[in-house]
Structure 1
Amino acid sequence: MTTFYVNKESWAHRQDPRTWLRRTAQRAGLSSERLQACWSDRAFLDPLFASRLQGEREFGVTATPSFIIGGTLNPGVLTFERFSDLVRPLLPAGSAPRG
């Protein structure tokens, strides 16, 4: 998974990203058949698409990663400190994030 995320710019904006994804998955030992099964699994994909559409409609999410914290959109990569600063006020009294 790290390879997919680290190399996102290599495949995310291609006309046919599946070619790059297929090649990379095969190098990692995932067969074309298994990858195709993943891409075709509606029970897995439908909730992902629904969540993405909800994020777009309700919060204006346009990028990955994006975090909705306390009803507010926080796009982009957040440091642990920033994430903690956003989450801490929402936690029950006496609790704190670890790290």
Structure 2
Amino acid sequence: MSPTRRSLVLAAPAIGLLPGLALAQGNDPRLAERSAGKADAQATVIEYFSLTCSHCANFHKTVWPEVKSRLVDTGKVRMVWRDFPLDQLALAAAMVARSLPAERYEGFVGALFSSQDRWAFARGADNMGEIAKIAALAGMSRADVDKALQDQALQRSILESRMKAQQEFNVNSTPTFVFNNKPQPGEVTFDRFVQLAGVSAG
């Protein structure tokens, strides 16, 4: 998804939260890296994504399963996920995802992408109520969801990470992949992913 009106919705309230505030990471496990694959994999690929991005959802539904089975599970690629929310709803969903135990993160994000039409785009939907239902399947109570959504330190850290992505890799749309420190904006096919990662698919 390109930085259209949906990203501008986030910009105004978000930027106001940031001046003078340092990253609140410290030892907070919610802000630790989320990844899949071996630490010594041949290649590390970073994906900047927004949970309300339909292009990100399409990648995760159609390309990621093959990347996971043929490249990640075989030790060729280590995949690192970084939040780049394009709007307030994506930010809220990212906060809930980050509040789950790390081992449940990938599954929860995948479930959000698979049901994106229902919780993100359905007219008249109770957005947070739908997200909470999916979080409940991952073992997170509605009270814990509400607590995560009220955590301004977590919110600030995700937004500052987003700004760092803009500064470090000039990320301005999602998905953006980083292969060998070179950003590649937009969806990629499996074959293109293999080529950019510099590994073999065999």
TM-score (norm: length of structure 2): 0.35
1:11 to 107, 111, 119: 119
Structure with the larger helix share: 1
Instruction: Structure 2: state its 5+ residue gaps.
Output: 1-107
**SS at structure 1 position matched to 2:177:** strand
Q: Does 1:31 align with 2:128?
A: no
Which runs of at least 4 in structure 1 moved beyond 4 Å after TM superposition?
96-99
Q: Is the 8 A contact 2:173 2:185 kept in 1?
A: no
Q: Is the 8 A contact 2:194 2:201 kept in 1?
A: no
1:59 to 165, 170, 185: 170
1:74 is matched with which residue?
Answer: 185
1:47 is matched with which residue?
Answer: 157
Q: Is the 8 A contact 1:84 1:97 kept in 2?
A: yes
Aligned length: 89
Asked which structure has the greater CA Rg, the reply is 1
Q: Which has the higher contact order (CA 8 A, sep 6+)?
A: 2
RMSD: 3.1
Q: CA shift at 1:42, angstroms? A: 4.1
Instruction: Structure 1: state its 5+ residue gaps.
Output: 89-95
Q: CA shift at 1:20, angstroms? A: 1.5
Structure with the larger strand share: 2
Q: Percent same amino acid at aligned positions? A: 19
